[in-house]
Chain A
Amino acid sequence: MATGSLATTTTEKRRRKRSSGIPVFVPLLFLLPAILLLIAFRYIPAFSAVYHSFTDWTGTNNAAFVGLAQYQTLLADPVFWTSLRNVLLYTFGRTVLTTVMAFLAAELVYNLRNRQSQWLWRVTFTLPMVIPGTVVLLIWRQIYAARLGLLNESLRALGLEQWAQPWLGQTNTALLAIIMIGFPLVSGFSFLVISSALMELSSEINEASLLDGCSPLRRIFAIDIPSIIGPSVLVIILGINAGLQEFAPMLIITSGGPANATQTPGLYLYQIAFTYGKFGYATAIGTVLMILTLGFSYFILRARYRGATDVEVQ
């Protein structure tokens, strides 16, 4: 790889303090493989999808241009609006739940005095990441079954018969049930990121605060939470992003029902494209979904990114 080095620095061009003589093509050269691959397999298909949202594509026909007709249909489609409401609720509930549970478990681990058991628990909660998502969904489908489902049977065994419900069969519980799949949601990336961040807090701060007579609860709010806000942003962005696109749990468990109570734009898109063969309409839904996700993420990322770099190149 051809590069410039400090030896060839041209001092007269050094306008800014941290500026160096590294030519601009160096970082671009580093970026080139990524740019090429992403253009070929992300940007081109994405633009193709957006383009087809202005056509009546069925996947096989010669798509005819229909202008904004698909978007007009979309605005008038009550199922789309229901699905949008559902996915916002789902994403909010799921992200909050995941983050809170991950933080809770991370705190429990962090407050252990024994280092070995800290390590052991972190490994314990990491390992289930290898369980295929489909297995988890198939098992949870049975957990919620009204008859012989683990949840209802447990409630009956505890004498809470009146709490037993057809969880997936009613509009007021189905979405909640989908949100709670995988409870306690500790195993996974969120827990690991937050717990790693806590582990990084120097133990001196923790111990000094204890010596100062600072209660653990106060320490959590005064020290722990502020220090994990950064990593939490990542977890939250990824959560929002995954949540807004979610369709697998609904596809496997409820098909979006009952009566669209768990319908999401991602699932709706999938059904419209692959079951009804209306790719033009499906790509219009996809485009709206994409704009929505991009909007959310953009604002959070804007807030997070302030450059921290070594050198300026010209």
Chain B
Amino acid sequence: MRKRMQLLIGTMVILAMVLSACAVPVAAPATGDAAAAPAASDAAAGAKQTLTVFLQCYYDPNVEADTAAVAEELVAEYETLHPDVDIQLVPNLPAGQDVETYLTARMAATESPDIMWQQFNTRNQRGDTWWVPLNDIFEMPNPYIEAGQPGSERWADSFQDYVLNQTRAADSNWYQASLDWVETGYYYNKEIFAAAGVDPANWNSWGDFVADMTKIKETQKVDALGAFVKQQGWSNWWWADDIFLTVAWADAAPDLYMEKYNDSSRPWRQMTPEEIAKAIIDGKLTATDPRMDDYLRMSKEFISILPADYNGIASLDDLDVPFFSGALASIWTGTWKNKLYTAQIPFDYGITYLPPFTTEDAAGAQNTAYRVGGPSSCGQYGIAKSAADAGKLDLATDFLMFIAAPQNFERLAVSYGGYIPMVKGADAGEVMANFTDISALPERLMSDPPDRLGPENGDAWSQAMQAFFLGQTDEAQTKEVLQKLWMDGAMKQCADQQYDWCPAQ
């Protein structure tokens, strides 16, 4: 017995020492090749240049196998065109915030995928510390776009103007090519609406909408609208916040724009981060303005029709439980839910949207609603600075142009069916079926809180509004808190970006 024990322990000790003494990589031929490739590329003619590509939900073999197969087909086609290139698709990451953790670590170690997805606001915050500015690349011809089509001579022409406008960073650079778009709508339970005698076709103003939703809540003993406010990170209340700010400030928009971003073909457009900062510093956009009373009132009305724990709901998915179970009459969500809802909802549902905002709702209102559509989707790709440092910029650019060509990207988008392709000439497929009216609405003047003055400032905005909703601060106090946030955020952005108009420090 003791002999055996001794032997066992002895073996254990030796094993442990061997393990800790030498580096034993787990066997992985693929990565071995990859590491060897750059060094050998000059010498051996057969050596391949490798490019790692992270397509987010367009390459997620475990969740969306069909779309992943399409992505693999595209890669195979590209590799046939370029036999000296090896494209390695990196599978999508599991849900959660971990993508930032994953990317932060990889950027610190210059191990990021060469073409990488990131949510555009956090990407723009990182700017050129992580990403290659694409401004010059957008001016180049895209060889994969058929001659004569937009983009074949100047790549930027294949994107919609408002997409380019919305994805511009605070330093006015572009760090990503935004190939698709999400549109949002109010998915509602027709049975509950009918039982309450509510028909969305009769909504002529925000006031009508709130009155009817309150009626549903009170007569049907259900929650009226699925939305929530989160203190950090995304919640669909952001959309409401954008719209209420937009409505309150709509009449002042021309005064808030900066000349250099103006485009005579689009008198109404979303403000860029630089314009927001300048308007705040110039004193044109102030949270103490009477317009903000309308903003705060509409915000309060909005939360009155939400579930009681709107401040503590962790994710929009959690609201699918009451929605599917008939305890929630409607939910404000985006096109990415289409597949699930079409296949699984156990009742008849419709898609509607906010009615126009009238001057009775807010003094500055322009008698319209605004679409929330935005580039927060799977097709937002940037080129990592580390790829450029490794001499792969040309290859990365070429592959990005290949994926962005309408005939190629359309295949991914249609197969996935959750997002609208934003490349001119690409067909949207069924995803647009219920969204034609919504997508005809003007865009928001104000972007989501983190896109205005950065993610940290955006989260602070959410927290200030939560405090207001919880009654910790009254209207006057809230307006002061918000004004301080705006001014601090604008000054910080000035310090970071050194705009030429910034006040002397």
Contact = CB atoms under 8 A, between A and B. Distances in A.
Contacts of B359: none
Interface string B89-120: 00000000100110010011000000000000
A133 B68 CA distance: 31
B322 A274 contact: no
Contacts of B459: 271, 275
Interface string B322-341: 10010110000000000000
A254 B312 contact: yes
Interface string A113-132: 00000000000000000000
Nearest to B16: A33
Contacts of B232: 255-257, 271, 275
B97 A251 contact: yes
Contacts of B17: 33
A141 interface: yes
A48 interface: no
A253 B322 CA distance: 18
B130 interface: yes
A235 B311 CA distance: 34
Nearest to A174: B312
A146 interface: yes
Interface in B225-239: 229-233
A260 B327 contact: no
Nearest to B473: A259
Contacts of A60: 107-108, 129-130
Given A142-B321, A148-B321, A258 B104 contact: no
B307 interface: yes
A147 B308 contact: yes
A147 B463 contact: no
Contacts of B125: 277
A258 B311 contact: yes
A145 interface: yes
Interface string B461-484: 001001100101000000000000
A169 B308 contact: yes
B345 interface: no
Contact of A146 (B104, B231, B309): B309
A275 B309 contact: no
B466 A257 contact: yes
A171 B472 contact: yes
B223 interface: yes
Interface centre among A33, A58, A60 (most CB of B within 10 A): A60
Given A171-B472, A255-B314, A259-B463, A59 B322 contact: no
A168 interface: yes
A164 to B, nearest CB: 9
B323 to A, nearest CB: 10
A174 B318 CA distance: 17
A35 interface: no
A148 B223 CA distance: 11
Interface in A36-62: 36-37, 58-61
Contacts of A290: none
Given A147-B327, A147-B328, A274 B97 contact: yes
Interface centre among B20, B130, B308, B327 (most CB of A within 10 A): B308
B311 A273 contact: no
B297 interface: no
Contact of B470 (A171, A271, A277): A171
A168 B311 CA distance: 7
Interface centre among A37, A59, A148, A257 (most CB of B within 10 A): A257
B33 interface: no
Interface in B272-298: none
B463 A276 contact: no
A167 interface: yes
A141 B321 CA distance: 12
B107 A168 contact: no
A170 B318 CA distance: 18
Interface residues of A, number: 38
A259 B309 contact: no
A26 interface: no
Contacts of A252: 314
Contacts of B308: 146-147, 166, 169
A147 B328 CA distance: 9
Contacts of B231: 254-260, 263
B21 to A, nearest CB: 11
Contacts of B310: 166, 169
A253 B312 CA distance: 8
Interface centre among A148, A168, A259 (most CB of B within 10 A): A259
A268 to B, nearest CB: 10
Given A166-B309, A258-B312, A142 B318 contact: yes
B311 A61 contact: no
Contacts of B97: 251, 274-275
B455 interface: yes
B312 A168 contact: yes
A37 B455 contact: no
Contacts of B100: 274-275
B399 to A, nearest CB: 24
Given A146-B308, A166-B312, A259 B104 contact: no
A148 B327 CA distance: 8
Contacts of B470: 170-171, 258-259
Interface in A268-285: 271, 273-277
B455 A276 contact: yes
B457 to A, nearest CB: 10
Nearest to B102: A274
Interface centre among A37, A254, A263 (most CB of B within 10 A): A254
A276 B309 contact: no
Contact of A58 (B122, B129, B318): B129
Contacts of A260: 231, 463
Interface string A234-270: 0000000000000000011111111110010000000
Contact of B311 (A58, A166, A274, A277): A166
Interface in A134-165: 141-142, 144-148
Contacts of A258: 229, 231, 311-312, 466, 470
A251 B315 CA distance: 12
A169 B312 contact: yes
Contact of A147 (B104, B122, B223): B223
Interface in B323-373: 325, 327-328
14 contacts: A59-B107, A60-B108, A141-B318, A146-B308, A146-B312, A166-B310, A168-B309, A251-B97, A255-B231, A257-B466, A260-B231, A260-B463, A275-B100, A275-B455
Interface of A: 33, 36-37, 58-61, 141-142, 144-148, 166-171, 174, 251-260, 263, 271, 273-277
Given A145-B321, A277-B126, 4 more contacts: A33-B20, A58-B129, A169-B312, A276-B455
> Which 6 A-B residue pairs are closest in the complex by CB-CB distance?
A168-B312, A257-B231, A166-B309, A169-B309, A169-B312, A146-B309
